[in-house]
A and B are shown apart, each in its own frame.
Chain A
Amino acid sequence: MKQYILRRLSLIILTLFGLLTIIFMISRVAPGDPARLAAGPDATEEMVEVLKKEFGLDKPLIVQYIDYLKGLFTGNLGRSIRTRHLVLNDLIRFFPATFELTVFSLLLAVVLGIPLGVLCAVYRDRSLDHAARVFSVSGLALPMFWLALMLQLFLALKLDFLPVGGRLGMLTEPPRAITHLYLIDSLITGNLFAFKDALRHIILPAFVLSFPALASIIRVNRAEMLEVLSRDFVVNARAHGISRFRIIGQYALKNALIPTTTMIGLRYGWMLGGTILVETVFDWPGTGLYAVQSAVYSDFQPIMGVTLLVGLNFMVANLIVDLIYGVLDPRVRYE
């Protein structure tokens, strides 16, 4: 097991290195002069050269690449040419918001999706199953930004029920930073006002972000449950008089969860990518929004920082999912 984890971790490093190289090359061959854009539309050539020198853009490409790699080993992800902020500081500032939103969305999808999937399988072709099918198809078909705008219009404008966007109300002071996750920090510090405010703000973006994942989890879990419930061991369990609840909850669900777990792992990575749209619509101050704004100005270093971070998250999530297989299915061995 230890060897397996070590091997996977070394693979993660190699993959990240490859990802980094590709992104570095793409960003450097992309049209557009970041120094010219950052210097401003009226800047003189001399001013553009000052910026190029300051950010090392006047050096040969290979030297820039080596400098970037050297920086990585010392925890320096570079500096934004537009804002002059350190990328590492920006990621530390913005990633907790994205992480909180993604994890909350994923939890929402799992907590709602798995029981609904089970219920749909148990009550197959009944009204709940039909309703869940419509819901699932909608979840996969509706464009995320459209759903976000409609929910904003309905719940924020018409019903005045939830805020339009942001992570906290304008006059709400963020809770004392411990994990930088507002929901957790406000609970730890006993700041219930901030907790309620943070919860109100996360509901809409989390629902929108989780909607496609929720739909997928319901469908996959339903299909797997139907398949498992028809197996011989379930019939055998019934014949032994084991309660229906125990058969479904303990035996069938555990077997059905393996493909669902894969789905959840993949969805985590997908959600991190999906935050770009959701964060823009809901003004959620996370890395998605940060990446978009950087891309608009061809600001390479932040884009590379976000790519590395998302890549790392995606790979770690997949590793965790692979490890969970072993817990769910004792037949799985790591060698």
Chain B
Amino acid sequence: MKSTLWKVMVVTVIGVVLVFAGATQALEIREGKKILVFGGRQPAPNIDPSQYYDWSTRMLEQSLYDALLKYVESPPRIIPWLATKWEASPDAKVWTFHLVKNAKFHNGDPVTAEAVKFSFERTLSIKKGPAWMLLDVLDPSGIKVIDDFTIQFTLSKPYAPFEAVLPWWYIMNPKVVMAHEKDGDQGQEWMKDGDAGSGPFMKKRWEHGVLYEMEAVADYWRGWENPNHVDGIIFKLIRESSSQRIAIQKGQCDIVEGLSPEDYEVVAKYPGVYVTNDPGLTTFGVKMNNQKGYTKDVNLRKALCYAFDYPSLIEIYNGNAILEDSPFPIGLKGHVPTDMYRQDLTKAKEFMKKAGYPDGGFELEYVYVQGLEEERKIGLVLIDNLSKLGIKVKMVPLAWPNMVARGSKVDTSPDMMAVFTTPVFNDPDVVAYQYHKSSWGKYYGSAHYNNSRVWELTDKARTISDWEARTKIYEEIQHIILEDAPEIFGMQYNRRWAFRDHVKGFVFCPVRFTGEVDLYPLYIEK
């Protein structure tokens, strides 16, 4: 019986080996077409450009749809896309765009000014997704079709950053959208998974929770810059950093995002893989409650700013980060370097005295996202640094929804909260507004910063079309915020992706969200 058992086991093992051996493949080739595989963590459950956006969704939206303008390169630059040229009135209220005449939707319909009008009206009336960018300044009645290829926007009030938001407003085919309208929903139900675009890729296979596949539009109206452009993209969902690492190492993916800093170091040394490393615009700061508790006192906030060991932030990111030198991120339009806080315990103790706590003797709460290792490590740095001022730090990991809920009200907002913020478009207004009263209640407004001068200047700057005049205002804003020390200004970590070495053409643009890649310029070199 014993020998029979062993025989069965050996035969089983051999059988399993024969059945399962030979597993992986590099770049996917199907019927001679090059299918690039992108491994990403975040699903894209709703690709209606009027309803939803986050990095993964917008990466697909950007592939399926075109906008009037497009962001490219670093520092971010706006280039004409569906619009060939545009002009603004001196008061930044009237904006006229001239469209290309050869652009067509995936079903062959031309992209006209009517389609542009329809798309803007749809997003504004649905009031979801990117609508917040223009709801306050653009009424549907202000959108006028001049002719088939000219459209004019008359804003309800001057808004200088108007052109900066347009790359995120995608143009949809009105016929396709309205053909799927149900109960007056403007096609929302269908558009969650629908394709009504004119972009370089068309929707092919959509398996929610698994993968999204698109195929290149062979006769894309703008053409393809490189003859070796990819013929298709598979956006494969791989949630775990370690699984992503294995996938890129084994060639099961051509691009992955979201590896841990340590994993990027590992795969960078792996043959056939390269890792990009570009300075991003996403800032990390420890927001302090400016209206309640110990941190209400500006002197105490300054003491904390002077006590913090800033280089440790760089160490946590294995050197792949830079320290902020202003409340506005380095690389953002309108940023000016300021005399930023750096660790100086003598000054820190002076400010503790001014605050009335020369020996500390109290505890502050540090809230961070549960499971986010970098934020946990930063908390440990805070514990060490603030102990030198006699302050204890209580680390409180919270799930993201709970954190947002706590930060939304002055009474519940923690003493210190770890916050990453990415500017949505390349204009200083987007960062200045984080310090505006309007941002209270949002996660980046958890400091509940309270300075009416900053609010006035921010409101004023967005109405001026003269860039020089705006620059001066934003410079003043940055200095005031710095002086008020509403947060411990931290760092900007580098954006990184790991690529198989046959993937070329990647163009980094820091105004895109974490993980988001412009798939259009990519090509294959073997």
Residues of A within 8 A of B (CB): 30-34, 36-37, 39-47, 50-51, 80, 82-85, 90, 93-94, 119, 149, 152-153, 156-157, 160-167, 170-171, 174, 196, 199-200, 203, 280-283, 285, 289-290, 293, 295-298
In the complex, what distance in Å separates the CA atom of A84 from the CA atom of B406?
26
Contact A171 B209 (CB under 8 A): no
Are A84 and B192 interface neighbours, CB within 8 A? yes
Could you say which residues of chain A place their CB within 8 Å of the CB of B211? 170
In the complex, which residue of chain A has the Cβ closest to the Cβ of B19?
A196
A-B contact pairs, 28 of them (CB 8 A): A32-B402, A32-B405, A33-B408, A37-B400, A37-B404, A45-B441, A47-B128, A47-B132, A50-B127, A82-B45, A84-B52, A85-B208, A119-B5, A153-B246, A156-B250, A157-B249, A160-B23, A160-B250, A162-B20, A162-B23, A163-B24, A163-B252, A166-B210, A171-B30, A280-B239, A281-B243, A285-B208, A293-B43
Contacts of B234 in A (CB 8 A): 170
Instruction: Report chain B residues within 8 Å CB of A119.
Output: 5
In Å, the complex CA distance between A174 and B205 comes to 11
B37 within 8 A of A: yes
Instruction: State how many angstroms separate the Cβ of B429 from the closest Cβ of chain A.
Output: 12
User: Which chain A positions have C-beta within 8 A of B243?
Assistant: 152, 164-165, 281-283
Decide yes or no: A84 and B23 within 8 Å by CB, A32-B405, A152-B246 being known contacts.
Answer: no
Determine the chain B residues whose CB is within 8 A of the CB of A165 once the complex forms. Answer: 238, 240, 243
Q: In the complex, how many angstroms separate the beta carbon of B259 from the nearest chain A beta carbon?
A: 14
The smallest beta-carbon distance between A59 and chain B, in angstroms, is 19
Q: State the CA gap A296–B250 with chains docked (Å).
A: 30
Given contacts A32-B402, A171-B35, whether A200 and B20 have CB atoms under 8 Å apart is yes
Selected contact of B238 from candidates A203, A283, A297, CB within 8 Å: A283
Nearest CB of B to A287, in Å? 10
A156 touches B405 (CB 8 A): no
A143 smallest CB distance to B (angstroms): 14
Closest A-B pairs by Cβ, 6 of them:
A32-B401, A83-B45, A285-B209, A298-B401, A31-B405, A32-B405
Interface hits, B221-247 → A, CB 8 Å: 234, 236-240, 242-243, 246-247
Q: Is B135 an interface residue (CB 8 A)?
A: yes
| Set of chain B residues within 8 Å of A283, measured between Cβ atoms | 210, 237-240, 243
Q: Are A285 and B210 in contact (CB under 8 A)?
A: yes
Which residues of A lie under 8 Å from residue B449 when comparing CB positions? none
Bound Cα distance A39, B128 (Å)? 7
Please pick, from B23, B54, B210, B242, the residue contacting A163 in the complex, using a CB distance under 8 A.
B23
Report the nearest B residue to A119, measured CB to CB: B5
How many residues of B sit at the interface, in one of the four size bands?
35 or more
Distance in angstroms from B204 CB to nearest chain A CB is: 12
Extra 4 A-B pairs, beta carbons < 8 Å, given A163-B23, A170-B35: A51-B128, A84-B52, A283-B237, A283-B239
A157 to B248, CA, bound (A): 10
Query: What A residues does B128 contact at CB under 8 A?
Result: 39, 47, 50-51
A46 and B127 within 8 A (CB) = yes
The reply on B444 being an interface residue by CB < 8 A is yes
B residues less than 8 Å from A160 (CB atoms): 23-24, 250
Q: Assuming A164-B243, A170-B28, A298-B401, is B53 touching A40 (CB within 8 A)?
A: yes
Complex Cα–Cα for A170 and B237 (A): 11
**B525 in the interface (beta carbon within 8 A):** no
In the complex, A295→B400 CA distance in Å?
10
Instruction: Known contacts A290-B209, A296-B399; decide if A166 and B236 are in contact (CB<8 Å).
Output: yes
Q: How far is the CB of A60 from chain B (nearest CB, A)?
A: 20
In the complex, the answer to whether B238 meets A40 with C-beta atoms within 8 Å is no
Chain B min CB distance to A246 (Å): 14
CB of B402 within 8 A of CB of A31, answer yes
Question: B21 near A: Cβ within 8 Å?
Answer: yes
- Check A85 against B424 for contact (C-beta < 8 Å): no
Chain A residues with Cβ under 8 A from B210's Cβ?
166-167, 283, 285
Residues of B close to A82: CB separation below 8 A: 45
User: Contacting B135 at CB < 8 Å: which of A33, A41, A46, A83?
Assistant: A46
Interface residues, chain B, with chain A CB atoms under 8 Å away: 5, 17, 19-21, 23-24, 28, 30, 35, 37, 43, 45-46, 51-54, 127-129, 131-133, 135-136, 188-189, 192, 207-211, 234, 236-240, 242-243, 246-247, 249-250, 252, 399-402, 404-406, 408, 424, 441-444
Given A41-B442, A297-B401, A83 and B23 contact (CB-CB distance below 8 Å)? no
Contacts of A163 in B (CB 8 A): 23-24, 252
Cross-interface CB contact of B242 among A44, A152, A293, cutoff 8 Å: A152
Expressed in whole angstroms, the minimum distance between the Cβ of B513 and any Cβ of chain A is 11
Kindly provide the distance from the CB of A96 to the nearest chain B CB, expressed in whole angstroms.
12
Q: How far is the CB of A207 from chain B (nearest CB, A)?
A: 12
Q: How distant is A138 from chain B, measured CB to nearest CB, in Å?
A: 19
Distance of A170 Cα from B252 Cα, bound (Å): 9
* Contact residues in A for B209 (Cβ distance below 8 Å): 93-94, 285, 289-290
In the complex, which residue of chain B has the Cβ closest to the Cβ of A33?
A: B405
Q: Name which residue of chain A comes closest to B129, CB basis.
A: A40
- Which B residues are CB-close (under 8 A) to A36? 404, 408, 441
* Interface contact A170-B37, CB-CB below 8 Å: yes
Residues in A with CB closer than 8 Å to B442 are 41-42
Other-chain residue from A43, A85, A149 in contact with B132 (beta carbon distance below 8 A): A43
Q: Nearest chain A CB to B125's CB is how many angstroms away?
A: 10
Chain B nearest CB from A324 CB (Å) reads 28
Shortest Cβ distance from B421 into chain A, in angstroms? 9
Selected contact of B20 from candidates A33, A80, A203, A282, CB within 8 Å: A203
* Nearest-Cβ distance from residue A244 to partner chain B, whole angstroms: 10
Give the docked Cα–Cα distance between A32 and B405 (Å).
5
**Among candidates B24, B192, B242, B402, residue contacting A83 with C-beta atoms closer than 8 Å:** B192
Name the A residues within 8 Å of B404 (CB-CB).
Answer: 32-33, 36-37
* A57: min CB distance to chain B, Å: 14
Complex contacts, B17 vs chain A, CB 8 Å: 161
**A280, closest chain B residue (CB):** B239
Chain A hits for B30, CB < 8 A: 171
- The one of B28, B132, B240, B400 in contact with A44, judged by C-beta atoms closer than 8 angstroms, is B132
A30 vs B210: C-alpha distance in the bound complex, in angstroms? 30
Q: Is the CB of A164 within 8 A of B252?
A: yes
**Quick check: B132 and A83 within 8 Å, CB to CB?**
no
Bound CA–CA A174/B242 (angstroms): 26
**Which residue of B is nearest A80, CB measured?**
B45
How far apart are the CA atoms of A306 and B334 in the complex, in Å? 48
Nearest CB of B to A289, in Å: 6
Nearest Cβ on chain B to A239's Cβ, whole angstroms: 22
Q: A166 to B238, alpha carbons, bound, how many Å?
A: 8
Residue numbers in B under 8 Å from A167 (CB-CB): 210
Determine the distance from Cα of A38 to Cα of B494 in the docked complex, in whole angstroms. Answer: 27
Known contacts A41-B443, A50-B128; A84 and B20 CB within 8 A of each other: no
Given A84-B51, A170-B211, A200-B20, does the pair A31, B401 have CB atoms closer than 8 Å? yes
Q: Which residues of B contact A200 (CB under 8 A)?
A: 19-20, 23
A residues near B444, Cβ cutoff 8 Å: 41
- Tell me, in angstroms, the Cα distance from A210 to B141 when the chains sit together: 62
A37 surroundings in chain B (CB, below 8 A): 400-401, 404
Which residues of chain A are near B45, meaning CB under 8 Å?
80, 82-83, 85
Bound: A1/B243 CA distance, A? 50
A164 touches B246 (CB 8 A): yes
Residues of B with C-beta under 8 A to A171: 28, 30, 35
A296, B401: Cβ atoms under 8 Å? yes
- Residues of chain B contacted by A196 (CB below 8 angstroms): 19
Q: How far apart are B434's CB and chain A's nearest CB, in angstroms?
A: 10
